[in-house]
Amino acid sequence: MGKEGPGLNSIRLLFRSKVALALAFCTAISALFLGLYLHHTAYRVVLGDTFVGYVDEPQIVDEAIRREALSRHWKPEELVLLERPTLVKTHSLSSLPSMTPDQLAAAMGPRLIFRVNAAQIWVDGQKRVTVPSPEEAEALLDELKEAYIRWVGADKENIQVVSVEPIEKVEIRTALVDPSQVLRSQEEALALLQQAPLVQQVYQIQKGDTLWAIARQNNLSEEEIMAANPGVRPNLLQVGQEINLTVPDPVITFRSKEVRVREESIPYKVKTVQDNSLYPWQRVTRQAGKNGVRQVTTEVVRENGRIISVETVEEKVLEEPREAIVAVGSKAVDISASGKFIWPTNGGKVTSSFGPRWGSFHSGIDIGVQAGTPVYAADSGYVRAAGSSGAYGLRIIIDHGSGYSTLYAHLSKITVNVGQKVTRGDLIGHTGRTGHTTGPHLHFEIRIDEVPVDPLRFYR
């Protein structure tokens, strides 16, 4: 093969220079396009499987989340976001439509799932209320206790509350919950716990019960009890009788123990002495009596306000009573009593017998008659007393001698005077309804040595 000529080498050099220029041109063009590409950078926002939009900076996502939290009336630091948006860095030859924080918050808002650490109050295994913190839950239960103490009247100076504990099992549990479940108003949460739907209960009358006491123990009025029990006569309640009660059924009930200190009177005793200068119906006080004073400490246990037990733990006498001395006349008088008793009024039916009645003792008989019916002396004697006397109302006592006396009560009018001599069958007054009575009638007693006996045994 022969040697290459100078012309061929020139051609090769020219080709190589053209290739180099082409490569340089391509490199320059590539660099130009790459610069333009890098100039348009954005972040693609994806929430779950959903594309939301583009933002220029990652901080815009944080600001959008913050604004959404504030729109839900929570501080951002109080909330936990279950799923954060994913950011994918994106390059483009042209600028992309970038979203503002408000636009992004509006687009993501419905999809952002927040949770908050809160405290729940559970009662007997049921969730009752959710509040922001365990401290607020404790404060709520404390307020319930205070409200209970005020309700039962245990906030007085002479009462010391020893303990107040819920009867139900009450727990405070922390949990990550939907913020919409949290009650941030203590008043609203308290009202929810104090809700007490009304339920029907049957109550059996106990010894010593009164309508007033039953109403107070069940946080009811006497009118409400009467409305639930038409036909029941409050003054004729019998032990064992059942009545209906519509009572509240609160979410949380309490068992409390309180110590009460009170002062009460010690009744003075009356000592009688015979005085033959006075007639039997005459009495003269030689020394006035004075009640003593004692301090009584009792321990009261309640359940939901109802008194379960009362125990006296201490009694201290602060002042001894002073007895009264009363002179009773023993001067002989001419009493022409027959020893037999007539019916003290015109007709009438016995409406209440002698003996136990309504948890107490009825010391006579009640004769049902119209008001204004004449009342007659059941036997001859002297009027020992005539006038008003507490529950008896207007009453008359006639001394018949030999230890016998009769009493006529609830009168509307008295027609005799103390010391007046009466004969068997004399008019002494008229029936009425004075004193403690449910209607017009005559309360009639026969006493032997001041001890009431059954009057009906004298009419058989």
Question: Within 10 Å of residue 129's Cβ, how many Cβ atoms?
Answer: 21
Distance CA 231, CA 210 (A): 16
**pLDDT value, residue 31:** 45
In angstroms, the CA 460 to CA 458 distance is 6
E-assigned strands of 181-323?
A: 198-204, 242-248, 254-266, 270-275, 283-287, 292-303, 306-319
Rounded to whole angstroms, the Cα distance separating 337 from 380 reads 5
Distances (CA, A) of 13 to 1, 4, 20: 22, 14, 11
DSSP 8-state symbol, 5: P
* Architecture of the domain defined by 198-249: Roll (3.10)
**Residue in 68, 63, 84, 69 with CA at minimum distance from that of residue 116:** 69
Report in angstroms the alpha-carbon separations of 268 from 43, 106, 287, 323: 98, 85, 12, 5
291 touches 319 (CB < 8 A): no
Predicted pLDDT at 32: 45
The CATH class given to the 349-458 domain equals: mainly beta
How far, in Å, CA of 301 to CA of 163, rounded? 10
Strands 442-448 and 50-55: unpaired
For 230, residues 6+ apart whose C-beta sits below 8 A from its C-beta are: none
Query: Which pairing describes strands 324-329 and 283-287: parallel, antiparallel, or unpaired?
Result: antiparallel
Distance CA 304, CA 296 (A): 25
pLDDT in tens, the chain (460 residues): 455 555 666 666 666 666 567 665 555 455 444 444 445 789 999 999 999 999 999 999 999 999 999 999 999 999 999 999 999 999 887 788 999 999 999 999 889 999 999 999 999 999 999 999 999 999 999 999 998 888 777 767 788 889 999 999 999 999 999 999 999 898 999 888 887 666 677 888 888 788 888 887 777 778 778 877 877 887 778 888 888 887 667 889 899 999 999 999 999 999 999 999 888 778 899 999 999 999 999 999 988 877 888 899 999 999 999 999 999 888 877 776 777 899 999 999 999 999 988 778 999 999 999 999 999 999 999 999 999 999 999 999 999 988 899 999 999 999 999 989 999 999 999 999 999 988 899 999 999 989 999 999 998 7
CA-to-CA dists, residue 195 to 119, 128, 144, 198, angstroms: 20, 11, 12, 10
Containing 222, the helix (H) or strand (E) segment is helix 222-228
Among 384, 440, 383, CA closest to 410:
440
* Two structure tokens written together for 146: 């205070």
0.85 exceeded by pTM: no
Q: How many CB atoms lie within 10 A of CB 345?
A: 20
- Rounded CA separation 16/22 (Å): 10
Q: Which two tokens stand for residue 104?
A: 């992004």
For the record, the structure tokens of 312 come out as 């006296």
Rounded to whole angstroms, what are the CA distances from 11 to 6, 18, 24? 9, 11, 20
Residue 131 neighbours by CB distance under 10 Å: 23
Taking the domains of the chain in order of start, what are their residue ranges? 41-112, 118-173+180-193, 198-249, 256-329, 349-458
153 vs 161: CA distance, rounded Å: 11
Look at the chain and count its residues: 460
CATH code for the structural domain at 256-329: 2.20.230.10
Phi, psi for 305 (deg, rounded to 5): 90, -25
Distances (CA, A) of 415 to 288, 307, 334, 423: 31, 48, 22, 14
* Residues in contact with 211: Cβ distance below 8 Å, sequence separation at least 6, in sequence order: 222, 225, 226, 234, 237
